[in-house]
Amino acid sequence: MIISTNNIVKEYQIGTQKVEALKGINFSVNKGEFISIMGPSGSGKTTLMNIIGCLDTPTKGEYFLNNKEVGSMSEDELAKIRNEEIGFVFQSFHLLPRNSAFENVMLPLKYAGTNKKEASEASKIALDQVGLSDRANHSPSELSGGQQQRVAIARALVNKPSIVFADEPTGNLDSKTGNDVMDLFKRLNNDGQTIILITHEDKIAKQSNRIITIMDGLIKSDKEN
């Protein structure tokens, strides 16, 4: 089991009012699963992703990632977990415009202090995984939206994470390019990569193997697809 949560609660103080974004979340994720987390705006799905992606900590409850209790870790400990265990793919790509595709993919390894030879080799492998070896030296402005998202996926894969989190990864893409990106996620999953996808689109969620629906800070349903 990669992820296990026990009664996760997240509260925010807005003025004098306390708002409960998550009201007691319990679920687990096994190695090799491909899961979609769905829900309308304000449902709590982004808050949940921030917690299980180690970008935030719960107010109450326990969160275990690879049997480590990370719910109460410090910022430095969370940053280390994010760098070693997690890859992120976002709707807006977040590529550095003056860096080549290759340099963008190598960034997490530079931050981790990986030696240059190993980082270079791992970056080449990651670009090959997403079918962009021939575009390694191109800047983001020389790539299509779909190619930029593939670079972002390669960057998420380069440190061989336990989990790839994809937050609305097709949101800025046309339907055909979005389908191509989803095909890539399915292929990576078939190769054993654990993937958690955040989406509000039913047709995107249905391409995963399991759909968790969040409503008003609670899990409304958790179904095999």
Give the predicted TM-score (pTM) of the model: 0.91
What gap in Å lies between CA 184 and CA 194, rounded to an integer?
A: 13
CATH architecture designation of domain 3-224: 3-Layer(aba) Sandwich (3.40)
**Strand residue runs (E) in 30-149:** 34-38, 60-65, 68-69, 86-90
List the domain boundaries for the chain. 3-224
Above 90 in pLDDT, residue 111?
Answer: no
Residue range 46-100, pLDDT digits in tens: 899 999 999 999 999 999 999 999 878 888 888 888 888 999 998 888 999 999 9
